[in-house]
Amino acid sequence: MNDEIDGGVEPTAPVWAAFGDLMAALLGAFVLILVGVIGMQLEASTRLANEVKQRQIETQRRKTLEQALAGPLAAGRVTLVNGRIGISGNVLFALNSDQLQPQGRELLKSLAGPLSAYLRDRDQILMVSGFADDQQVHAGNRRFADNWELSAERALTVTRAFIDAGVPAQSVFAAAFGSEQPVSSNADETGRAKNRRVEIAAVPRPASSARAQTGAHDGHE
């Protein structure tokens, strides 16, 4: 009788085994969450480190440029604001002219070496920008139709002077802005003189040019 009763009862799984399965599932979920959190923290940390590195590179870039231009800056022949080198049009050119004055040519020669060295290890090129005041070009001057053309020719003159002084031709280009970006009021001669200027700035090299230049270097090796 007892044997019949004992044989009809099915054994049940121990409670600890079911609890163990539950804990294993919870532990797995916790590990997945922990891995996700750690991954996000690492990504954020990497992004922050890259941003800090970029700021440090930019700060060092400006310091390097300032050191290279220490002489001209101390002499008051150039300005350096946010990485842009400014040269007064009066230093470089006579009024309504795109022909370099002797002092302007000497100044550009003195800048060519430091700028070339600055660009040598950087994937950047020089943008030479010409600017003008809002006064119409003198009627007697038939060479230029307007201030756009005058600012363009001045930028080209400075660009050619840099190339003649040793800046690689593929590392410099000219741009013209006419009177569209004044830095001072055009209401008086003092302000207009500030607006007649040439600015030089290092800008990122276009990707296609950078790839072509890399290929050229690889070919020489």
Q: Which of 42-56, 102-116, 166-180, 205-219 has the lowest mean pLDDT?
A: 205-219
* Count of other CB atoms within 10 angstroms of residue 21: 11
Residue 123 lies in a domain: yes
Token couple for 171: 């590392």
pLDDT exceeding 70 applies to what percent of the chain? 80
Between 216 and 112, name the one with better pLDDT: 112
Token couple for 183: 């830095």
Between 210 and 42, name the one with better pLDDT: 42
The reported pLDDT for the residue numbered 117 is 83
Are residues 171 and 149 located together in one domain of the fold? yes
Residue 140 lies in a domain: yes
Residue 207 lies in a domain: yes
Residue 6 lies in a domain: no
The CATH number of the domain where 78 resides is what? 3.30.1330.60
The reported pLDDT for the residue numbered 96 is 84
Q: Residue 172 belongs to what H/E stretch?
A: strand 172-176
In tens, the pLDDT along 138-152 reads 655 567 888 899 999
Asked if residues 181 and 131 have their Cβ atoms less than 8 Å apart, the reply is yes
Quote the CA–CA distance of 114 and 64 in Å, as a whole number: 10
Residue 154 lies in a domain: yes
Asked if residues 163 and 212 have their Cβ atoms less than 8 Å apart, the reply is no
Range of the domain at 30: 13-60
In tens, the pLDDT along 59-81 reads 776 677 777 778 878 887 888 88
Are residues 102 and 174 located together in one domain of the fold? yes
Q: How confident is the model at residue 221 (pLDDT cuts 50, 70, 90)?
A: very low
